[in-house]
Amino acid sequence: MTIDMTEVRQLFFEESFESLDTMEANLLDLDIGVVDHELINSIFRVAHSIKGGAGIFKFEQVVHFAHIAETLLDSMRNNQHWVTQETIDILLQAVDILRMMLTRLKENVPCNETDLQAIQEAQLGLENMLKVPLPASEKTNSPAKTPNTEPPEITEVTPPDLNKGWLILFKPSPELLKTGNDPINLFRELATLGQLDIKVNTTELPDFKEIEPQLCYLSWTLTLYGDIPRQAIDEIFEWVEGDCSLEITPFPIQATESPPIIASSPIIAASAYPADTQASTLPTSLESEENEDSPEPEKAKKNRWGDNGRNNAQTNDNSIRVSIDKVDALINMVGELVITQSMLDQVGDNFDISKLAQLRDGLAQLERNTRELQESVMRIRMLPISYSFNRFPRLVHDLSVQLNKKVELKLTGENTELDKTVLEKMNDPLVHLVRNALDHGIESPAQRLATGKPETGLLHLHAYHQSGNIVIQISDDGAGFNLEKIRLKAVKLGLLDAQDIPNAEELYEYIFHPGLSTNDQINDVSGRGVGMDVVRRNIRTLGGTIDIRSEHNKGTIFTIRLPLTLAILDGQLVKVGQEIYILSLLSIVESLHINKKLVSSLAGQADVYKLRDEYIPVVRLHNLFKIQTDITELDKGLLVIVEGEGQKIGLFVDELLSQQQIVIKSLESNYKQIEGISGATILGNGSVALIIDIAGLIRLFHQQTALPRIRPRIVQELVT
């Protein structure tokens, strides 16, 4: 009988990638020169768990590499190695390598030459770090806490003491093999701690014809030699806790009668002693057994484990971990829906006109239950933004070192939830904005001190909910934007005339123009003028907006507003001619009947409506979308004031209809992308209604009228 390990294998990869993220975050929390045993133990447990899990699936290369990293961590927690910047960097590199190796195994793709070289370099770095203790005072440029004692010297490695050790009586339950655990893998783990002798007990082995291959009939007596902490043994047997009978007794032990044996031999495995007994190189292939003989695909020839190896580990992850509270709420809603359906069925079977009120109550209850069920289902797709924020401590650490800057990263609102699809598509824009803040925004320590600032800059990522949207702010206390420099760059690119003096809001728009960069030097981080236009395009694709606030020598704030989900929209239906359009309720400021006395012509190209102290451009939807309608006079219809990308416009429509919650359907995937339209939906009568993209509509209006953004200071000059 063959045990299907597919689901267990998938779970191993998911948990390993999550554990590596935790390991990376904990490494970045270590203080230079201080041994935080709790934190180091947490990091050690991650490496140990990955090694143990990889052993179950016979991923020997992962086991070997994780063992070396684990050995360094063990020496750190035993005060045999100080926490230095070099140590942290080496271990962070090890995290990258483990993430890459597991990604290759998950995808059944062999390592390419670049991968293998990186593995060997990382392994060599770990081994070199193990050989020589590095005093913190010599290897860090930042202030460090001074330990109370001098770092102990690492003495020459000696063979294990055969007078010390542990006697382990291990009797698995008959069902152990069905859990995916193999005793041999446990023995391999024990052999990494010291010399191991094994004796197997066969007294419970049945006759051959009665053997069930999926059951375990054996037990073992294990003798583990060396001065080994009990905790290390316990951690190995954590994998089978509850599935075995286990007795662990330290030396010296009393002589006992040994059980019948059929074999007695030591297991030869990787040594637990790092210095001279470790192999210096890895095998030249890393792949799962299922793919052992397959040729290397073309895509494997590229080094695809950039961004610390995260992308490949997460790109094809279509699973979501859901809290039990959300599942319980969903089950309860389904139960309520079934009850309501049963009630309506009963009313229908015995229906007469006198029960009309009861039917209406039932339908109202059905609507409430359906809405609650819908909201519960949508919450299942919601993930905390910490899934994205957690990558930035490592990114900021690496870029700070590369740019010779000191930066403190502050993360707030990590528990703010948004749709998984939105979260995944926001990763790249956020990374780009953070890289720009570090390169363009935050100054070098010397520059900051010269301007009276602390030498350590502050980068703050903040997320929160506001009016049904999620708001993400990326702020820094750096140099801010030099508006005159932006203006000159725009003139150089032919975007402005030399005599033009735009305001700050207009100049910020040029930052999103392809090819415009205020950085004079091109480097590996930024400076090519490529990216900010893509950032805004990606955000707009998600139905979001991005705004800039900046003050020279004070700092910059990028504010991103996104919908919580791409699937559901609370909409206002409006009628134009015979067509129905939908406006997001969140974008509507107000609606009103037009007073023609407050309407003026703007340079003969468009109408503006004076609403209190504002001039609102009037967009006639029937003209913009070329729709036949009988209502063309402004005082005959309605004006719906909407806001997008910081600007208000008035949409002239025939009438307002009902408000509905609608399911958004992609127009681009079913037809093509249309400027000013973000999607479509199917109404209750089966007809299709288009959803208006307010930001896109504003851009379309400016394109068709050739008018700049409306500004109060120039409106009076243009109004006729």
pLDDT band for position 540 (50/70/90)? confident
CA pair distance 478, 556, nearest whole angstrom: 7
pLDDT at 33 over 80: no
662 sits in which H/E element:
strand 655-663
pLDDT band for position 469 (50/70/90)? confident
Closest C-alpha among 154, 168, 156, 157 to residue 225: 168
pLDDT band for position 297 (50/70/90)? very low
Residue 301 has a pLDDT of 34
For the chain, list the domains and their CATH numbers: 5-130 (1.20.120.160), 165-250 (3.30.70), 325-517+531-566 (3.30.565.10), 568-705 (2.40.50.180)
CA pair distance 46, 38, nearest whole angstrom: 13
Residue 58 has a pLDDT of 83
pLDDT at 295 over 60: no
Residue 311 has a pLDDT of 46
Give the Å distances, CA to CA, from 713 to 37, 397, 615, 717: 64, 46, 10, 8
pLDDT band for position 690 (50/70/90)? very high
Residue 560 has a pLDDT of 93
Q: What is the mean pLDDT of residues 161-180?
A: 81
pLDDT at 178 over 60: yes
pLDDT band for position 339 (50/70/90)? low
pLDDT at 474 over 70: yes
- Contact yes or no for 425/472 (Cβ under 8 A): no
Q: What is the mean pLDDT of residues 278-307?
A: 37
Q: 179-188, 240-249, 332-341 — which is least confidently predicted?
A: 332-341
> 308: left (phi > 0), else alpha (psi -120 to 50), else beta?
left
Burial class of residue 679, CB neighbours in 10 A (0-12, 13-18, 19+): buried
Report the side by side order of strands in the sheet with 688-692.
655-663, 568-576, 579-584, 688-692, 677-682
Most confident option among 152-166, 459-473, 492-506, 557-571: 459-473
pLDDT at 305 over 70: no
CA pair distance 606, 675, nearest whole angstrom: 19
- In degrees, rounded to 5, the angle at the alpha carbon of residue 611 between the alpha carbons of residues 706 and 559 is 65
pLDDT at 556 over 90: yes
Residue where the block lists tokens 């394109």:
703
> 108: left (phi > 0), else alpha (psi -120 to 50), else beta?
left
Give the Å distances, CA to CA, from 291 to 99, 101, 109, 516: 19, 14, 8, 47
**Percent of the chain whose predicted confidence (pLDDT) is above 70:** 76
Q: 294-303, 357-366, 535-544 — which is least confidently predicted?
A: 294-303
User: Do β-strands 406-412 and 456-466 pair in parallel, antiparallel, or remain unpaired?
Assistant: parallel
- 47 CB neighbour count, 10 Å cutoff: 26
CA pair distance 578, 572, nearest whole angstrom: 16
Sign of CA dihedral 586, 591, 597, 599: positive
Per-residue tokens: 154: 């690492």
pLDDT at 700 over 70: yes
Encode pLDDT of 181-208 as tens digits: 778 888 888 888 888 888 888 888 887 6
For residues 568 and 256, which has the higher predicted lDDT (pLDDT)?
568
Closest C-alpha among 134, 156, 129, 151 to residue 71: 129
Residue 345 has a pLDDT of 65
pLDDT at 461 over 90: yes
pLDDT band for position 390 (50/70/90)? confident
Q: 324-338, 508-522, 596-610 — which is least confidently predicted?
A: 324-338
Residue 287 has a pLDDT of 37
Residue 98 has a pLDDT of 93
**HSE (side-chain half, CA atoms, 13 Å) at 387:** 21
Residue where the block lists tokens 């205020």:
518
Dihedral of the alpha carbons of 495, 500, 503, 508, in degrees to the nearest 10 = 20
Q: φ and ψ at 531, to 5 degrees?
A: 135, -45
69 sits in which H/E element:
helix 60-77
Residue 483 has a pLDDT of 86
Residue where the block lists tokens 């230095």:
84
Q: What is the mean pLDDT of residues 268-286?
A: 34
Residue 455 has a pLDDT of 93
DSSP string, 567-623: SEEEEEEEEETTEEEEEEGGGEEEEEE--GGGEEEETTTEEEEEETTEEEEEEEHHH
Q: 19-28, 142-151, 390-399, 599-608 — which is least confidently predicted?
A: 142-151
Sign of CA dihedral 430, 435, 441, 442: positive
CA 667 to chain centroid? 27
Encode pLDDT of 606-653 as tens digits: 788 888 888 888 999 988 888 898 898 888 889 999 987 667 889 999
CA pair distance 121, 187, nearest whole angstrom: 29
Exposure string for 290-318, b = 16+ CB within 10 A, e = fewer:
eeeeeeeeeebeeebbeebbbebbbeeee
Burial class of residue 82, CB neighbours in 10 A (0-12, 13-18, 19+): buried
CA pair distance 698, 389, nearest whole angstrom: 32
